[in-house]
Amino acid sequence: MSNYTVKRTIIGQLERGTDLHNGITRIVQEHGISVGRVTGMGAVQRAILAYYDQKTMTYENIALNGPLEIVSMYGNISTRDGKPFAHVHVVLSDERGNGKGGHLIAGGTPVFACEVTIEEFDGPPLVRGFDERTGLALWPENTQL
């Protein structure tokens, strides 16, 4: 368990056509944000999300065709492979208002419009490493609450 304070909050938008995950990754790496939180809203032209199969320990992609609202985007920022890494989930909705959701991957999700708020936190580093039990890149054991 570690305590953090908010260092700064960045607000802005992603350019139309930018891949959503790649765009966020570029921002957090350019600004050297090693611990943080990302939230946002907007719309995408289409999306590829991922669902983690807890048995096979692999991500399976879900292609969502057609324009979708980004109802909410939530993610955290920590370090993976020596670089700032954003772990992001999104809730999307279609033209009938049906909710979709999942883990955002790099590629396949071009932005139509996206308004983003990124909070950078001051505090101990948060570094991801391979966790055998889940097959995921998780934070270390001493971050258990």
Report 97-136 residues binding a second copy (CB under 8 A). 97-103, 112-113, 115-117, 121, 123, 126, 131, 133-134, 136
Tokens of 62: 């879900």
Asked if 52 interacts with a second copy (CB under 8 A), we say yes
Contact (Cβ atoms closer than 8 angstroms) between residue 21 and residue 108: no
Q: Which is nearer to a second copy, 1 or 81 (CB)?
A: 1
Q: Are 104 and 90 in contact (CB under 8 A)?
A: yes
Interface positions, 56-95, toward a second copy (CB under 8 A): 60, 62, 64, 67, 69-72, 74-76, 87, 89-95
Q: How far is the CB of 41 from a second copy (least distance, A)?
A: 5
What H or E segment, with its residue span, contains residue 36? strand 36-44
By the 8 A CB rule, do 105 and 122 touch? no
Q: 65 or 83: whose CB is closer to a second copy?
A: 65
